[in-house]
Copies of this chain bind each other. A is one copy, B any other.
Amino acid sequence: MARKVKITGIGIYLPKRIVTASEIDMLIGAAPGWSEARSGVKQRHFIKDESASFMGAEAAKMAIEHAGMSLDDIDCIVSGSGTMEQAIPCNAALIQKELGLEHSGVPAFDINSTCLGFVAALDVISYMIDAGKYKNVLIINSEISSVGLNWRQDESSVLFGDGATAAIITKSEGSSGILTSRMETYSAGAAFSEIRGGGTKVHPRHYSEESKADYLFDMDGKAIFKMSSKLMNPFIEKLFSGTGLWMKDINMVIPHQASWAAMKIIRKKLNVEEPRFMSIIENYGNMISASIPLALYEAIKEKRIQRGDRILLLGTSAGLSIGGMVLEF
């Protein structure tokens, strides 16, 4: 069942504005050191004037260069972002325009699974590449969380950062491929992390001072944590089932950078030592769907993973969903 696909290029864009934990402490009126102790985030990037499509296009250009390709080689653009730039049209079309491909006809559409957007998009697209539908697909995860944070909810507002990643997915001629993938959604946890407003249910036309929190991110960290902890080990068992793989065969775990505390517990649950577990949250915070591909980028850059390594991408997202994938990189 392995799908012969390969990540042939990867790129990132980080907004120029860096916001430190002490700035966050001041913003929320906390004692110095509180937000870092709470979240494990020393700094994160927030947009100044960048749009999500601009960031996505910048990351894409870097990925294309990394792959040794040119823009003309891309035959499909998928946005896997969990946030929309505009209500209409889809993110991928806006990114296509930023890339200067507005007359190209290259198909552009979105796949959304919030924080699992990269994993979900890679999974879906792998079947299309494997079947020969597309050759070089650009998956872009560009997230602006900063505009939707509720600074009165310390638990969530201290966690997030902005930024974008891009990956080029190509048919693999060698051993690179997706060895297994799995996703489970438990909407019993749908209200554990949400933005109730902004869509058709609580439309922006009803915006008011009293209702403004409805348009901002709202999270019940303890509830997410409780649910994810319970789901984790049975999920991993099913993900690995039939593959002959054991956790000891995994060279690197790339988890969603949800929060420092959540990642610590997941690592213990998986019984994986620190060197096999990418944690970049202290420098970037939780970047929604861009977290997993950014951690992958960092792992490549730091030479912590090599071609041929077995990599486990793993995370939970709003929904509540849990998703994972083992790549032979």
Contacts and interface: CB of A to CB of B under 8 A. Distances in A.
Interface of A: 1, 3, 51-52, 77, 82-90, 92-94, 96-97, 101-114, 116, 120, 124, 127-128, 130-133, 144, 147-148, 183-188, 190, 193-205, 207, 212, 215-217, 317-321, 323
A299 B266 CA distance: 51
A84 B86 contact: no
A94 B187 contact: yes
B87 A198 contact: yes
Contacts of A102: 186-188, 190
B90 A319 contact: yes
12 contacts: A3-B131, A82-B90, A88-B114, A89-B190, A90-B112, A104-B186, A105-B185, A109-B120, A109-B185, A111-B112, A147-B203, A148-B203
A51 B201 contact: yes
Pick the most buried of A1, A147, A185, A193: most chain B CB atoms within 10 A of its CB.
A185
Given A89-B319, A90-B113, A105-B185, A198 B190 contact: no
A105 B184 contact: yes
B200 A88 contact: no
B198 A84 contact: yes
A210 B311 CA distance: 51
Give the oligomeric copy count: 2
Contact of A196 (B86, B116, B212): B86
Contacts of A184: 105-107
A86 B194 contact: yes
Contact of A193 (B3, B89, B187): B89
B52 A201 contact: yes
Contacts of A116: 109
Given A127-B127, A187-B96, A199 B112 contact: no
Pick the most buried of A90, A148, A200: most chain B CB atoms within 10 A of its CB.
A200
A86 B203 contact: no
A202 B86 contact: yes
B127 A88 contact: no
A21 B59 CA distance: 48
A64 B252 CA distance: 41
A195 B204 CA distance: 12
Nearest to A200: B144
B113 A200 contact: no
A318 B92 CA distance: 11
